Amino acid sequence: MSKLNIELCPETGICSIRKADGTKVDLMPDEVDGVRSASGNATALKTAIGEADEKFAASLTAEELAELSGALK
């Protein structure tokens, strides 16, 4: 079951990630590229997302990071 709602705009490249509790982060295209580059590495993923929102990145679980990594390949 999906724990995150991940929406990637094909026109702008902006990605919105919303957790089940309603917290949300928007990633700019360069930040999305950083997340893609960090795919499979939980620490690198948190760092890449943390550039946009450190608190949101710190709240991500290992399961959510794995889901995010797979969704933005």
Does pLDDT of 1 surpass 70? no
| Distance separating alpha carbons of residues 55 and 53, to the nearest angstrom | 6
User: Which pLDDT belongs to residue 42?
Assistant: 92
Q: How many CB atoms lie within 10 A of CB 17?
A: 25
What pTM did the predictor assign? Answer: 0.88
Question: Domain total for the chain?
Answer: 1
Domain span holding position 55 = 4-71
Tokens of 24: 């949300």
Q: Contact, 4 vs 68, CB < 8 A?
A: yes
Does pLDDT of 3 surpass 90? no
**Model confidence pLDDT, tens digit, residues 13-68:** 999 999 999 999 999 999 999 999 998 899 999 999 999 999 999 999 999 999 99
User: Which pLDDT belongs to residue 39?
Assistant: 87
23-45 as b/e: b if 16+ CB within 10 A: eebebeeebbebbeebbeebebb
